[in-house]
Structure 1
Amino acid sequence: MVVLETVINATWEHIVLVYTTLFVSIIVSIPLAFGAVYSKKLEFVIMKFANLVQAVPSFAVVAIMVPFLGIGFTPAVVAIMLRALLPIIKNTYIGLSNIDPALIDYAEGVGLSQWQIHRYIRLPNAYPAMFAGIKFAGILANSIAVLTAFIGSGGLGEIIFQGLIGYNTSTLLAGAIPAIMLAILIDTTFTILEKKVTPGHSSE
């Protein structure tokens, strides 16, 4: 039987790991998506790299961190981030580029700067696709965070693997159920945030 305090501590470690990684992934991905919109060469490099990392099995990405970064929290963040980049970059890029060129021409014609066009036209247009990518990346990060327990990241993965190794169903469920609930929380949180910031939802 797993002590409740152990589950709570592991859940907190898991939440910190997942949300830290997701925050870093968003900070890295969105500027790259903007860069891809304005440079075909940059788009080719970014998408190729993101697709390549995505094609590598998750466990292999986690394992390859050890020779380079050792074990612990930081290698786990890097491993999860590499897997979470593609859905955010790709969806944000699609949202930013899927806009009527005439609208951009009109905005430039009335004197809007490139920053204002990004802020008031491109970015709001990209919100639905971008948030879909973030939610997918968050759920992906949550699942890979379980695997990173192998490299000392802590979190719910440790409890899950203890349950698997010991053929202990109660221990396994003590780690798996909070992980499932966290996945639902991530999806719900960003769905609410999307509705708050997306034009047209505020009046509903």
Structure 2
Amino acid sequence: MVAIATVLAASLQHVALAYSALLVAVALSVPLAVLSLSSRTLASVVMTGANLAQAVPSLAIVAFVVPLLGIGFYPALIVLVLRALLPVVKNTWIGLSNVDPGIIDAAVGIGLTNREITWRVRFPLAYPAFFAGVRFAAILTNSVAVLTALIGSGGLGNLIFEGIAGTNTQTLLAGALPAILIAVLVDAGLAALERRVVYEGA
């Protein structure tokens, strides 16, 4: 039987790792997507990199980081940021760049600057694509955070791998069930936030 305190401590560590990485990824993705609007070269590099990197298995990224950065919480954090960055920046850029040209022309016609068009016109229309990317990245970081226990990040992944190694179903479930619950709750929370933001921006 796994102690409740152990599960809670592992859950808190898991949440701190997975969703601090998500916040960093969002903070990096939005400026990168905005910059890509003004540079076709940068947009091409970002989109090509996003498409290629998404095809790389998560475990391969974990293995690649270890020789460069070692093991522990912070190398695991970098793995998760890299994994979350791509879907967020890709979806944000798609949402910002696929705005109806007629709407942009109308915004220019009433005297809005490029910056005002980006934040007042493009972003409200890009919210659905942006949130789709964030929600996907949230699920991704939650799952990859389990894998990073292999490189010493701690959290629920430790319990899961301990359960697998010792063929202990209780320990395995003590790690897996909270990870699943966290993913469901975070996705529901982001969905609620999306509805609120889209409604207020409408």
Specify the TM-score bucket, using the shorter chain as the normaliser. Answer: over 0.9
1:119 is the counterpart of 2:107: no
Report if the CA contact (8 A) 1:22-1:141 is conserved: yes
Matches within 5 A, 1:62-141: 62-141=62-141
* Corresponding residue of 1:37: 37
* Corresponding residue of 1:46: 46
Query: Which ranges of 4 or more aligned residues in structure 1 deviate by more than 6 Å?
Result: none
Q: Deviations over 1:122-181 (max 9, x none)?
A: 000000011011000000000000000011111100000000000000110000000000
Report if the CA contact (8 A) 1:53-1:82 is conserved: no
Q: Please, what is the CA RMSD of the aligned residues?
A: 1.5
* Corresponding residue of 2:24: 24
> For residues 119 and 99 of structure 1, what CA distance do their matches in structure 2 show?
12
> For residues 200 and 32 of structure 2, what CA distance do their matches in structure 1 show?
29
> For residues 153 and 51 of structure 1, what CA distance do their matches in structure 2 show?
27
Report if the CA contact (8 A) 1:10-1:154 is conserved: yes
> For residues 86 and 66 of structure 1, what CA distance do their matches in structure 2 show?
20
1:166 is the counterpart of 2:166: yes
> For residues 105 and 35 of structure 2, what CA distance do their matches in structure 1 show?
19
> For residues 74 and 111 of structure 1, what CA distance do their matches in structure 2 show?
46
1:176 is the counterpart of 2:173: no
> For residues 73 and 51 of structure 1, what CA distance do their matches in structure 2 show?
27
Report the alpha carbon displacement of residue 37 of structure 1 after superposing the two structures with TM: 2.1
Q: Deviations over 1:72-126 (max 9, x none)?
A: 1111111112111221112111111111112111111211122221121100000
**SS at structure 1 position matched to 2:112:** coil
Query: Structure 2: 5+ residue runs without aligned partners?
Result: none
Report the alpha carbon displacement of residue 50 of structure 1 after superposing the two structures with TM: 2.0
Report the alpha carbon displacement of residue 203 of structure 1 after superposing the two structures with TM: 10
> For residues 14 and 180 of structure 2, what CA distance do their matches in structure 1 show?
12
Report if the CA contact (8 A) 2:124-2:201 is conserved: no
Q: Deviations over 1:8-38 (max 9, x none)?
A: 0000000000110000110111111112222
**SS at structure 2 position matched to 1:112:** coil
> For residues 91 and 50 of structure 2, what CA distance do their matches in structure 1 show?
12
> What's the TM-score, normalizing by structure 2?
0.95
Change over 3 Å in CA distance of 1:203–1:88 after alignment to 2: closer
Q: Deviations over 1:44-83 (max 9, x none)?
A: 1112222222222111101111111111111111111211
* Corresponding residue of 1:187: 187
Letter paired with 1:180:
I
Q: Across the two proteins, how many residue pairs are aligned to each other?
A: 202
> For residues 104 and 52 of structure 2, what CA distance do their matches in structure 1 show?
33
